[in-house]
Structure 1
Amino acid sequence: MKKFILLIISFILLIPYISFGATQNGTYLNVKIGNNINISENISLSADNGFYLYDKNSKREITYIENNHLIAKGNQNGIIEIYDQSYNYITEISGDGSVILGSGNTRDSIVQVDQNKYRDYITFLVRNNEILLLNHIELDNYLYGVLPREIPASSPIEALKAQAIASRSYTMANINKHINEGYNLCDKVHCQVYGAYDNENPATNQAVDETKGTYAYYDGKIIDATFHSTSGGYTEDSSNVWGNSVPYLVAVEDEFSANTPNSNWTVEITARELKDKLLSSGVDIGDIIEIQLLDITEANRVQKLKIKGTKGEHILSSSNFRNLVGASFLKSTWFNVSTTGASSNTKVYALSGDSTVPREMNLDDAYILNDANKSTVSRDIVSRAIGKDRTSSLDGKSSSKPTTFVFNGKGYGHGVGMSQYGAIEMAKQGYNYEDIIKHYYKDVELINEN
């Protein structure tokens, strides 16, 4: 067996540099796959017909390794060491991502990393004693892995084409989202969910192929084509979600999403659970008494809310509240809230200083007074009546605090841009992908750059 000793020395600035651009093979980007890996951990690589090592930018071949199975690991000098399956040393490459590994099948490179297969190339970044594993991949090959993770592959082809154009446009508009970390995009929902080669589907691949080179443009620029699962009947203006007004990301009436999955939903959270979640985020306002919705947008979504507790109150944006309780739990910011569990087995009365007639009162508005301050009623209390000669207890207890908050809502996701289930319904009704794109993104045009 041949052994290769190869040291790639590169002189780079400390600021990471990403090269992506048209080559003879198309537009490439670096997608971070999976979680960071400890520098001493073994990474298993497999490929048919061995491996080629290439310079990332020029795609010039550096050397060939005949082994079909390799092990890669890092060292403290920021170098990636390559071994065969018997841990015989083969070569080493710089951990700056400048060298990429592809399979020996140059027509259709598929590289397996542990249990997952990826198109095109694999490369490595060494950062703070960890390895960032990157898939250096051509744009449409990347979209093959995105679409089946972002929209049901069983959707009508026109909806899949609309998703392909939205995802392609979103990719290029956000190409430098992780530039300061040394790569272009991640494989999580923070960018777009990206699956491996084995997750691809013929229908979604067809949608990518049949829209190849097509982007949505506004005022001469590729749009940031955000999308979400379903609007529930009305999309949202970007300024109400992210604070930036984008002329093509405005609220539109969306009857196509009105009766789709998650267009209506109900969830519950106990007062105790909500208290614990606030405590975990560093907010202590005591037992939760009430949730007040403060600002509602024209598209019916909550912008700001107040949580009242026995020790104070806390105001936060609905997006932060959704993240606090879980974005998959509270599916959108279009909701109202009610309570259950508050009980009153006896009526509560109070005597004012200028009256001899007791008046019924609401414990939520009651305070316990002493010489120093006032405090909210914070527990079940035994009501007492003070008479001329003695104090007597009334039967039963009163509770001023709810035990559960009930959220009734509409839609799933941030609500900005294309509703995926709305697109599916439009396609079912005979609309094509251009109709869908122009319904959800105002005043855009589709341009094919091939």
Structure 2
Amino acid sequence: MSILDTHQTNRLRVSFFNLLVIVVFMVATGCTTTASHKKVMISKGAEIKQPSVRVVVERSADTLIFEGADLRLVCGDVKLEFPDRVLLRFEDGGVRYRDRLLKYPVKLQSSKRIYINGRPYYGNLVLLNKNVINVVPLEEYIKGVLSLEVSPDWPLEALKAQAVVSRTFALYRIIHAKDPNYHLDNTVFFQRFEYRISSKNISKAVEQTDGEVLIYRGEVIEALYHSNSGGRTESCQNIFKNDLPYLRSIQDPYSLRTPYSYWSFEIDSSEFIERLVRAGYINGAKKLLGIKIKSRTSSGRVSEFLIWLEGGEKLVINGNKLRMVIGPRVFKSLLITEVKVQRRDNDNYIIKFSGRGYGHGVGMSQWGAKVMAESGFNYRQILSFYYRGTTVRNYIDVIDNP
């Protein structure tokens, strides 16, 4: 059953009951594929509270300390109050408080922020299956995303572009929820999120774009984005297998004058092999003889690598999988310009990767958006550049009148 926050912010002209019914219906009927967009119809009604986003902020929790003013714990008919903090232990069947086992789901509420092991969150918390889910109003969630995804010192138009993209990203996952208990988590695989006191610039960016999302043919788009395109974005089809017209590769000169436009890193061949062994791609330590690019996508990113090992063994590995094995923080993108293997000693080699950009390359380049804003483009022009054929509209109006 969907859990929607009751925090009162930004009342909207839409029936909240109808929104809940539609979202639950879509989850129940399996409307989760990113390749197939579904229309969402919501009737107009009395003013009600804005929808909330359910964000997993802790997974496989063990013992956590929750702090906040006037904490309230609710579990069925059980209601407990704590003046400022409570320690809870997560078990398979529920949450243990002292000698008492409270069966999932357990709700934690506070009149102000709730801290989890010192990290601040806004709204209510739901403890379920060893996960902690933050139920937060949509616009407050966007402020928390921007606080981690971009610098508050960036130009306002770049922040506004990010606000629209992050709101679109979240709303798409509310509509296409794959789990009835939550919409997304707070990792880079979705959007980083942590509630902080927002800077004036971030608050202004969110408020000035209140309710605005990207629309393609009457539907909320899948607004993917990344850090830096390295001069050319990637087509969604090449990474995520969905051919979305608004997420096709384009030249992006604005991303060539920023951090991570160019990068390189080195890795010892023995460590390289060890990581492949740990990931299950090869059995046992073997000597590396060579590595080269086997194929590229239409944007120039590496699709496959070919690796030679001792004994005549060859390994063909997907580019993105190798990037994850090595680590995306050092292996910043697949827009590789050079791979060099240099001998270190009789048994070891150094592999040097050089390339451009940071991230998967699909959708908006955050650093490119910054440069565009510094060059005088407004946020709508930035969004039109990266998401071709889309328009910016208030999502309530679009859902009412697609």
- Using the size of structure 1 for normalisation, the TM-score is 0.72
From the superposition, tell whether residues 271 and 117 of structure 1 become closer, same or farther in structure 2 (CA, over 3 Å).
Answer: closer
Shift of 1:441: 0.7
Query: Which position in structure 2 is the counterpart of 1:406?
Result: 352
Shift of 1:74: 5.0
Is contact 1:169-1:225 (8 Å) kept?
yes
Query: Which position in structure 2 is the counterpart of 1:385?
Result: none
What letter corresponds to residue 372 of structure 2 in structure 1?
Answer: M
1: CA distance, partners of 2:246 / 2:327:
29
Query: Which position in structure 1 is the counterpart of 2:364?
Result: 418
Query: Which position in structure 1 is the counterpart of 2:140?
Result: 141
For residues 158-216 of structure 1, give each alpha carbon's deviation from its aligned partner in whole angstroms, at most 9, with x where no partner exists. 00010011111111112377744832211111111111335x33322221111110000
1:433 equivalenced with 2:379 (yes/no): yes
Query: Which position in structure 1 is the counterpart of 2:108?
Result: 101
Shift of 1:281: 2.1
Query: Which position in structure 2 is the counterpart of 1:391?
Result: none
Query: Which position in structure 2 is the counterpart of 1:67?
Result: 83
What letter corresponds to residue 84 of structure 2 in structure 1?
Answer: N
Instruction: Say how many residue pairs are matched.
Output: 352
2: CA distance, partners of 1:228 / 1:286:
35
Query: Which position in structure 2 is the counterpart of 1:371?
Result: none
Query: Which position in structure 1 is the counterpart of 2:9?
Result: none
What letter corresponds to residue 126 of structure 2 in structure 1?
Answer: T
What letter corresponds to residue 102 of structure 1 in structure 2?
Answer: Q
44, 47, 68: which is aligned to 2:65? 44
Alignment of structure 1 residues 127-138 onto 2, 5 Å: 127=129, 131-138=130-137
For residues 230-268 of structure 1, give each alpha carbon's deviation from its aligned partner in whole angstroms, at most 9, with x where no partner exists. 011110111111222111100011000012101011111
Shift of 1:225: 0.7
How well do the aligned residues superpose, as a CA RMSD in angstroms? 2.8
Shift of 1:321: 1.0
% identical aligned pairs: 26
For residues 207-228 of structure 1, give each alpha carbon's deviation from its aligned partner in whole angstroms, at most 9, with x where no partner exists. 1111110000111111111111
1:207 equivalenced with 2:182 (yes/no): no
From the superposition, tell whether residues 165 and 54 of structure 1 become closer, same or farther in structure 2 (CA, over 3 Å).
Answer: farther
1: CA distance, partners of 2:116 / 2:348:
51
Shift of 1:52: 4.9
1: CA distance, partners of 2:189 / 2:122:
22
Secondary structure of 2:174's partner?
coil
Is contact 1:30-1:185 (8 Å) kept?
yes
From the superposition, tell whether residues 297 and 37 of structure 1 become closer, same or farther in structure 2 (CA, over 3 Å).
Answer: closer
Alignment of structure 1 residues 359-374 onto 2, 5 Å: none
Structure number, greater radius of gyration? 1
From the superposition, tell whether residues 310 and 52 of structure 1 become closer, same or farther in structure 2 (CA, over 3 Å).
Answer: closer
Segment drifting more, 310-319 vs 23-32 = 23-32
Is contact 2:304-2:316 (8 Å) kept?
yes
Query: Which position in structure 1 is the counterpart of 2:119?
Result: 116
Secondary structure of 1:300's partner?
coil
What letter corresponds to residue 232 of structure 2 in structure 1?
Answer: Y
Alignment of structure 1 residues 4-15 onto 2, 5 Å: none
Query: Which position in structure 1 is the counterpart of 2:320?
Result: 319
- More helix per residue: 2
Alignment of structure 1 residues 346-365 onto 2, 5 Å: none
Is contact 2:276-2:325 (8 Å) kept?
yes
Alignment of structure 1 residues 24-423 onto 2, 5 Å: 24-38=48-62, 41=63, 43-48=64-69, 50-52=70-72, 65=81, 67-74=83-90, 78-80=93-95, 94-97=103-106, 100-103=107-110, 105=111, 109-125=112-128, 127=129, 131-175=130-174, 179-180=178-179, 182-197=181-196, 200-282=198-280, 283-284=282-283, 286-311=286-311, 312-335=313-336, 336-341=338-343, 403-423=349-369
Q: Show structure 1 runs of 5+ residues with no match.
A: 1-16, 344-379, 381-400
What letter corresponds to residue 86 of structure 2 in structure 1?
Answer: L
2: CA distance, partners of 1:234 / 1:75:
47
Is contact 2:270-2:348 (8 Å) kept?
no
Is contact 1:232-1:259 (8 Å) kept?
no
Is contact 1:303-1:318 (8 Å) kept?
yes
2: CA distance, partners of 1:273 / 1:176:
43
Secondary structure of 1:188's partner?
coil
Q: Show structure 2 runs of 5+ residues with no match.
A: 6-15, 18-47, 397-402
Is contact 2:263-2:354 (8 Å) kept?
yes
From the superposition, tell whether residues 288 and 73 of structure 1 become closer, same or farther in structure 2 (CA, over 3 Å).
Answer: closer
From the superposition, tell whether residues 63 and 287 of structure 1 become closer, same or farther in structure 2 (CA, over 3 Å).
Answer: closer
2: CA distance, partners of 1:70 / 1:154:
37
Secondary structure of 1:408's partner?
strand
Segment drifting more, 239-248 vs 273-282 = 273-282
Is contact 2:267-2:350 (8 Å) kept?
yes
1: CA distance, partners of 2:74 / 2:203:
27
2: CA distance, partners of 1:30 / 1:194:
12
Is contact 2:141-2:195 (8 Å) kept?
no
Shift of 1:54: 7.1
What letter corresponds to residue 18 of structure 1 in structure 2?
Answer: S
Query: Which position in structure 2 is the counterpart of 1:355?
Result: none
From the superposition, tell whether residues 324 and 53 of structure 1 become closer, same or farther in structure 2 (CA, over 3 Å).
Answer: closer
- Using the size of structure 2 for normalisation, the TM-score is 0.80
What letter corresponds to residue 275 of structure 2 in structure 1?
Answer: K
From the superposition, tell whether residues 62 and 248 of structure 1 become closer, same or farther in structure 2 (CA, over 3 Å).
Answer: farther
What letter corresponds to residue 104 of structure 2 in structure 1?
Answer: G
What letter corresponds to residue 67 of structure 2 in structure 1?
Answer: S
From the superposition, tell whether residues 270 and 133 of structure 1 become closer, same or farther in structure 2 (CA, over 3 Å).
Answer: same
From the superposition, tell whether residues 340 and 433 of structure 1 become closer, same or farther in structure 2 (CA, over 3 Å).
Answer: same
